[in-house]
Structure 1
Amino acid sequence: MDVSQSLASLIEIVWLDFLLSGDNAVMLALATRALPQEQRRSSVLLGTVLFILLRAALAFALLAYGRLAGVGLVGAMVLIWGAVSLARRGETSAAKAPLRSLSAALLACLAMDAPIALQNMVGVQAAAQGSRPLIQFGLALSIPLLALGSAGFINVLRKPPLVWAGAGLLGWLAGQMAAADALVLASPLPLVYTGEFAPPAGAVLAMALAYAFWRARDDKGVGLQQGRER
């Protein structure tokens, strides 16, 4: 990887980490709201440690097994899913009963964070193109962003038109990752076409799906508002 490729990968990783940073502080606050004050304080520290360990485990697993046949194709699907998830950020879920134990609250937060962490680390792996230092940089950068997931300057990246650019980046990396998978490389498909066609096709697919989900959410919100006015 030459200097220009490394710089491009570095920019992509920074963008992905900001784009896919989880709203972990908010999740912890909601999950532990029924716990005593002392346990709520402990949950912040323990939760942050668990979130970091989860990302570290995913990053090193991808480093170890990322070149196995089929992993790139699965990773591509995860990134397309991540593009759709961008459009769904901010959706309100049904209210749940508050959790009464620290362990249950931490497990609930870990389960909610797992998809975001997976998308984040797969995206970093795709952007880094197997470079261990870049993957380690992406992991290190994601750690301080765990507490800033709902910060105003990060939320700007999750709103149109920048959210479509972010979805396009995820789709581009998905196509790049799929084209480099061992199963695709071993197929009779011409490598020139797969290498050149897959990234832009992935970007278009990701942006189209993200836009479709965004419009569906907006139409649903308008419908609910009109129903209340009646």
Structure 2
Amino acid sequence: MNDWITWITSASTLTALVQIMLVNIVLSGDNAVVIALACRNLPPHQRKIGILLGTAVAIVLRIIFYLAITFLSGVPFLKVVGALLLFWIAIKLVVGEEEGGHEISASEQLWLAVRTVAIADAVMSLDNVLAIVGVAKGDDALAILGLVLSIPLIIVGASLITSLIQRFPVVVWIGAALLGWIAGEMLVDDPVVLRFFSANAPAYVAPYPDDPAGIGLKPVALLHYGAATLGVLFVLVAGFFMARQAGRGAAKTA
């Protein structure tokens, strides 16, 4: 017990714990957006449950990813698949917003909301955990404690965004655009994509000796921001046309 108290109150532990919480809070903005977007159509009495479950999913997935990061970070095409899933989720969210989402019963909506959060968090938590790995430096207890302490902050963020969505539906499109940005970033950060550019267009990658994923490469600013911007455009354009098509289909059946 005394050893644990000494460990938790040491300056190095407290400093690292604060760093992990800050990293998690900063990188959890997108997770809060996903939770808020997925829960926006739930009845008020279920919305809080959805946010709580979504936040729990986010934290549990990060702990699992942290414990398995050595394996996951080197899997080829993992981030490519993750990016494609994020594109799908972003477009599905805006199409659902335009359709209204009222044809699903309350209980099904809650389950669907939690499922959407689980898929999105499974994709987005990887980059979050890679950053935490760099701060924790192998201290599993420190990393997990920092993640758990971040739960209330994610809940507050998701609740705030949900309230904004109820007043300003355009926030859904902004959130979808954010997911498109993240997906674009993730796509060009995959080991296979980085190695492809390294072999065929080396001007678009740069050395990254401290890469926690162990690849040793990163996209240059032009590739990074270019891919992210294209991701936003893809989500907005595809979402617009698919939502319009869905609206026409609903009008014909009415």
- Unaligned runs of 5+ residues in structure 2 are 1-15, 136-142, 209-215
CA contact (8 A) 1:17 1:120 kept: yes
Aligned to 1:115: 119
CA–CA distance in structure 1, aligned partners of residues 41 and 47 of structure 2:
10
Residue pairs, 1:3-18, within 5 angstroms: 12-13=26-27, 15-18=29-32
CA contact (8 A) 1:172 1:203 kept: yes
Does 2:53 align with 1:50? yes
Aligned to 1:32: none
Aligned to 1:98: 105
Does 2:217 align with 1:195? yes
Does 2:233 align with 1:211? yes
Counterpart residue type for residue 192 of structure 1: P
Query: What is the Cα deviation at residue 60 of structure 1?
Result: 0.5
CA contact (8 A) 1:12 1:127 kept: no
CA–CA distance in structure 2, aligned partners of residues 112 and 64 of structure 1:
23
Aligned to 1:22: 36
Query: What is the Cα deviation at residue 157 of structure 1?
Result: 6.5
Pairwise CA RMSD of aligned residues? 4.8
Aligned to 1:89: 93
Aligned to 1:151: 163
Instruction: Give identity over the alignment, percent.
Output: 10
Residue pairs, 1:59-74, within 5 angstroms: 59-68=62-71, 70-71=74-75, 73-74=77-78
Counterpart residue type for residue 126 of structure 2: V
**SS of 1:141's equivalent?**
helix
Does 2:134 align with 1:124? no
**SS of 1:20's equivalent?**
helix
Query: What is the Cα deviation at residue 129 of structure 1?
Result: 5.4
Query: What is the Cα deviation at residue 151 of structure 1?
Result: 3.1
